[in-house]
Amino acid sequence: MQRITTAKEILKINRDLRNNGARIGFVPTMGALHNGHLSLVKRAKSENDAVVCSIFVNPTQFNEPTDFQRYPRNLEKDAELLESVECDYLFAPTASEIYPIPDQTHYELGSVSEELEGKHRPGHFNGVASVVKRLFEIVKPDRAYFGLKDYQQYLVIKNLVENYNLPVEVIGCPIIRSEEGLAMSSRNELLGKTEAEHALKLNESLKRAQKLIEEGKPTQEVESTISKDLSSQGVDLEYFEIRNAGDLSKPDNSSQSLVALVAARFGKIRLIDNMNLTSN
């Protein structure tokens, strides 16, 4: 695996690969890699000739300075993990490499960026759009792979690609969970043992919501039931909502494709999760 730190280096590699007719898969990350990230690299390896994984903790998408400072960083360990799944290139740029000048753009991302995480983390998705667009411009991938644990982010990035005519196919990949059911996240390593056990209630609540929807319960009733249950169990809940899977609009009785999304805090750590539901 070759390590790269500058846009100039990766642009040269891109030209060489293109001259040989290679297709490039890209996995953008903020590091603190886990099996979820590695599953994205494996998928990219299976569908492309070369794979680039970026590691960059993007300051523009953090609402809380302490969250940015606390975000786990271990580049050497991450590099070893990428080696283990035969990633071809690790792109680990500095902030000045990604943002040689501040990006003041207000990105048009559609109403999907204004819901849920958009309400709770103002400016977050604009920061995501800024770094993803810049990375796409540098890496110039054919395909980019994103975990569906960040489901709303996946939809926002699809809108970014469509609205700005970016020549990248955006591929969403299934959530990878621990044996206990906790959705894998870089922030999980910041959880204490008790907090990690408590966080399992998120997946439990999603599975219960799925069962209730399959039984024909109205979506608003399911939202209310699950939210009350989580709060009664001491979960510091920010939201539990059921939305249309395509655009995160609020469902009506004719909705067929639904997703439940949840966000909560466990100590100082904020976690999100989601699950596709079946509505008949």
Question: Which residue numbers are catalytic?
Answer: 37
SS3 184: coil
Residues 95 and 57 sit within 8 Å (Cβ to Cβ): no
Q: Is the dihedral of CA 146, 151, 156, 162 positive or negative?
A: positive
Element (H, E) at 249: none
Closest CA to 178 of 205, 211, 149: 149
Phi, psi angle pair for 206, to nearest 5° = -65, -40
Integer-rounded Cα radius of gyration of the chain: 19
Other CB atoms within a 10 A radius of the CB of residue 99 amount to 16
HSE of 128, CA atoms in CB hemisphere, 13 A: 25
**CA dihedral in degrees (9, 15, 19, 23; nearest 10)?**
90
Look up tokens 């690969």; give the residue. 17
Q: In what order do the strands lie in the sheet with 269-278?
A: 236-244, 257-266, 269-278
d(CA 254, CA 242): 14
